[in-house]
Amino acid sequence: MAIVDIRGARKTYPGAAAETLKGIDCTVADGEFLVILGPSGCGKSTLLRMVAGLERISAGEIAIGGRIVNNLEPKDRDIAMVFQNYALYPHMSVYDNMAYGLKIRRLPRAEIDRRVREAAALLGLSDYLKRKPRQLSGGQRQRVAMGRAIVREPAAFLFDEPLSNLDAKLRTQMRVEIKKLQRRLAVTSLYVTHDQVEAMTLGDRLLVMNEGVTEQLGTPLDVYRRPASVFVAGFIGSPAMNFLPGRVADGGTVELPGGHRLSAPWADGAVGRPVTVGIRPEHLQPAGPEPAAQGTGTLAVRVELVEALGADTVVHGIVDGRGDPVLARLPGAAAVHAGDALALTVAPENLHGFDAATGRALTQDRPPADDRRARPQAVAR
């Protein structure tokens, strides 16, 4: 196990007009599971490949276990990587795929056999050791790829979107297995994904990236509850957060389109300041069957579409006044129909405010960006 330190990491490709990574700083604690999250092209896979040694770092430092690895080859970094496409040798058995890296390192045959069989038992692959990859399901192939990483007993695991080729059911199953496995092995892990569900359920902390920079670094719940920017607020959460233009009004309130006024803890700046107001769909609740008058702390919404999902009902509507779109996630039993007029309320503590010009959060009680609260302890082998 080891601490992974990323200090001012930058990446510029030859001939590129702009930097791909613009100075990433992050310390991954010993045994921690860090998820690197962001949209396609944000630089998350580039960052992981730089840690692995598959991409050269242009500036900054990367240290694994206290050792600067900038100029070390991948094989000398004491890491193991699990790829999106499994990268298995099709002509080799499961056993040989898992053992191959150890054979290259010339470990004793008995030690190789012990490690492979222990990893196979851990991953439920003991009955498949003689099979070829083509005889396995997608989930089983991904277990083999993970087993190949486990047998190396590395200082850190690196995962590059390992579940993206699996169907929805298998993704859920493998997500749970990866989390259990990481806790049991207690190995420092960096996991790249664009899937927010994977990020929220797997990570001890999230590093949210956008256009080569860090947007926010914190625990999953902190990133969800207190997003640092409009980008983070819109990227985390399903359905996505509603954003409405507004202005700071008097009395600690914010005025929304159509004259709606809501209490907001962060609305203590200059009256008239333009802001972006964020409301998560699950935080909008019906106030009654009829729309309330403007200025009473509610949003008057005209329903355009209703999605009945069973446990939840997602309501698509427009805010009376300017016609801004809004989503509300209501209980599955909600009796709502297209054309209905709804009065929706939101608790002041669930109202997010962002500067209209910069997109940065206005909330004043935000903890430090690198908020490392207590995490569940991993179980050592």
CATH code, domain with 100: 3.40.50.300
- Both 87 and 176 in one domain: the answer is yes
Q: Are residues 247 and 192 in the same domain?
A: no
Sheet holding 4-11, edge to edge: 21-28, 4-11, 59-64, 67-68
216 and 255 in one domain? no
Residue 379: pLDDT band with limits 50, 70, 90 = very low
Question: What pLDDT is recorded for position 290?
Answer: 52
> Running DSSP on this structure, what letter comes out for residue 259?
G
In a domain, 369, yes or no: no
State how far the Cα of 236 lies from the Cα of 111, in Å rounded to an integer: 44
The predicted structure's pLDDT at residue 366: 44
Instruction: Please give the single-letter amino acid code of residue 177.
Output: E
Q: Is the pLDDT of residue 294 over 70?
A: no
Asked if residues 224 and 52 have their Cβ atoms less than 8 Å apart, the reply is no
3-state secondary structure of 364: coil
In a domain, 361, yes or no: no
Mean pLDDT value of segment 281-291: 77
- Pair 33, 125 in one domain: yes
Laid out side by side, the sheet with 351-355 consists of 261-263, 253-255, 242-248, 274-279, 351-355
User: Residue 216 has what pLDDT?
Assistant: 97
Distance CA 260, CA 262 (A): 7
Q: Are residues 222 and 311 in the same domain?
A: no
- Residue type present at position 244: L
Last residue of a domain, one of 230, 256, 290: 230
* Sequence-ordered list of residues with C-beta below 8 angstroms from that of 324, at least 6 positions apart, any chain: 244, 245, 257, 318
When the pLDDT of each residue in the chain is averaged and rounded to a whole number, the result is: 88
Residues 339 and 254 in one domain: yes
Both structure tokens of 101: 């890296």
Region 37-54: what's the mean pLDDT? 94
Report whether 170 contacts 86 (CB < 8 A): no
Is 375 within the bounds of a domain?
Answer: no
Q: How confident is the model at residue 380 (pLDDT cuts 50, 70, 90)?
A: very low
Q: Locate tokens 């926010």: which residue?
A: 216
Number of domains in the chain: 2
> What is the band of 365 on the pLDDT scale with cuts at 50, 70, 90?
very low
* pTM score of the predicted model: 0.87
> Among 153, 180, 172, 158, which residue's Cα sits nearest to residue 378?
180
Whichever domain contains 264, its CATH number is 2.40.50.140
Chosen domain end from 195, 230, 265: 230
Are 48 and 160 contained in the same domain?
yes
187 lies in the same domain as 249 = no
Token duo for residue 118: 């222990």
Same-domain pairing of 93 and 150: yes
Cis bond upstream, residue 239 (ω within 30): yes
110 and 88, same structural domain? yes
Asked if the structure places residue 324 within a domain, the reply is yes
Same domain, 71 and 179: yes
Could you tell me if residue 347 is inside a domain?
yes
Give the tens place of pLDDT for each residue, 88-105: 999 999 999 999 989 988
Residue 98 DSSP symbol: H
Extended strands (E) in 29-136: 33-37, 59-64, 67-68, 79-82
Residue 280 included in any domain:
yes
- φ, ψ of residue 34 in degrees (nearest 5): -100, 125
158 DSSP β-pair partners: 81, 190
Both 218 and 252 in one domain: the answer is no
pLDDT tens profile 140-167: 998 899 999 999 999 999 999 988 888 8
**118 falls within a domain:** yes
Q: Tell me which residue has tokens 């898992």.
A: 98
Residue at 299 is within a domain: yes
Weakest mean pLDDT among 8-22, 216-230, 356-370: 356-370
pLDDT higher than 60, residue 309: yes
Confirm if 182 and 33 have CB atoms less than 8 A apart: yes
The domain containing residue 253 runs over which residues? 241-355
Q: Reply yes or no on whether the pLDDT at 369 is more than 60.
A: no
| Phi then psi dihedrals of residue 376, to 5 deg | -55, 135
Give residue-wise pLDDT tens across range 66-89: 999 999 999 899 999 998 888 899
Least confident window among 99-103, 117-121, 292-296, 346-350:
292-296
